[in-house]
Copies of this chain bind each other. A is one copy, B any other.
Amino acid sequence: MDLETPYLVFLGDAKDALAAKTGQGIVDWRPEAVAGQLRLPGCYADLGVADLSIQQAAEAGTRTFLIGVVNPGGVLPKQWQGVIVEALAAGLDVANGLHTPLDSIPEIIEAARRSDRRLIETRRPAGPFPVASGRQRTGKRLLTVGTDCSVGKKYAALAIERELVARNVAADFRATGQTGILIAGSGIPIDAVVADFAAGAAETLSPDNDPDHWDVVEGQGSLFHPSFAGVSLALLHGTQPDAFVVCHEPTRKTMRNVDAPIAGIDAVIEQTMVLGRLTNPAVRCVGIALNTSELDAGGASRTIEQTRRQFGVPVCDPVRHGVEAIVDEMLP
A259: Cβ under 8 A from any B Cβ: yes
A172 at the interface (CB under 8 A from B): no
- Closest-CB distance, A135 to chain B (whole angstroms): 7
Shortest distance from the beta carbon of A104 to any chain B beta carbon, whole Å: 15
Q: How distant is the Cα of A59 from the Cα of B275 in the complex, in angstroms?
A: 55
Interface string of A5-41 (1 = CB under 8 A from B): 0000000000000000000000000000000000000
- Chain B's closest residue to A240 (CB) is B226
Contact among B193, B200, B259, B274 for A134, CB-based, below 8 A: B259
Q: Which residues of chain B are near A224, meaning CB under 8 Å?
A: 275, 278
Decide yes or no whether A228 CB sits under 8 A from chain B: yes
CB contacts (< 8 Å) of A195 on chain B: these are 190-195, 198, 230-231, 234
Stoichiometry (number of copies): 2
Are B196 and A228 touching (Cβ within 8 A)?
yes
Rounded to whole angstroms, the CA-CA distance of A304 and B275 in the bound complex is: 28
* Assembly CA distance A101 to B190 (angstroms): 25
- Once bound together, how far apart are the Cα atoms of A53 and B224, in whole Å? 53
Give residues of chain A (209-236) contacting chain B, Cβ–Cβ below 8 Å: 223-224, 226-235
User: In the complex, which of the residues A194, A195, A235 has the most CB atoms of chain B within 10 Å of its own CB atom?
Assistant: A195
Q: List residues of chain B with CB within 8 A of the CB of A192.
A: 194-196
Q: Which of B135, B227, B233, B259 meets A229, CB within 8 Å?
A: B233
Does chain B have a CB within 8 A of A166? no
Residues of B within 8 A of A194 (CB): 191-195
Provide the residues of chain B in CB contact with A200, threshold 8 Å.
227
Which of chain B's residues have a CB closer than 8 A to the CB of A267? 274
Write the chain B residue with the least CB distance to A261: B278
Indicate whether A132 reaches chain B with its CB closer than 8 angstroms: yes
- How many chain A residues touch B (CB < 8 A): the figure is 39
Query: Which among B193, B199, B232, B257 is the interface contact of A228 at CB below 8 angstroms?
Result: B199
A275: chain B residues at CB < 8 Å are 223-224, 229, 271
Q: A192-B195, A259-B134 are in contact. Are A231 and B230 (CB under 8 A)?
A: yes
A258 within 8 A of B: yes
Is there a chain B Cβ closer than 8 Å to A50's Cβ?
Answer: no
Indicate if A153 sits at the interface (CB-CB under 8 A): no
What chain B residues lie within 8 Å of A229 (beta carbons)?
199, 233-234, 237, 275, 278
A121 to chain B, nearest CB (A): 14
29 A-B residue contacts at CB 8 Å? A132-B226, A134-B226, A134-B255, A135-B258, A135-B259, A191-B196, A192-B196, A193-B195, A194-B194, A194-B195, A195-B198, A196-B227, A196-B228, A196-B231, A199-B226, A199-B227, A223-B233, A223-B275, A224-B278, A226-B237, A226-B279, A229-B233, A229-B234, A229-B278, A230-B234, A230-B235, A233-B233, A271-B271, A271-B275
Report, nearest first, the 7 A-B pairs whose CB atoms are least far apart. Answer: A230-B234, A134-B226, A191-B196, A230-B230, A132-B227, A195-B198, A134-B258
Extra contacts, 7 of them, besides A191-B195, A229-B233 (Cβ < 8 A), are: A133-B258, A133-B259, A135-B259, A190-B195, A191-B196, A198-B230, A199-B227
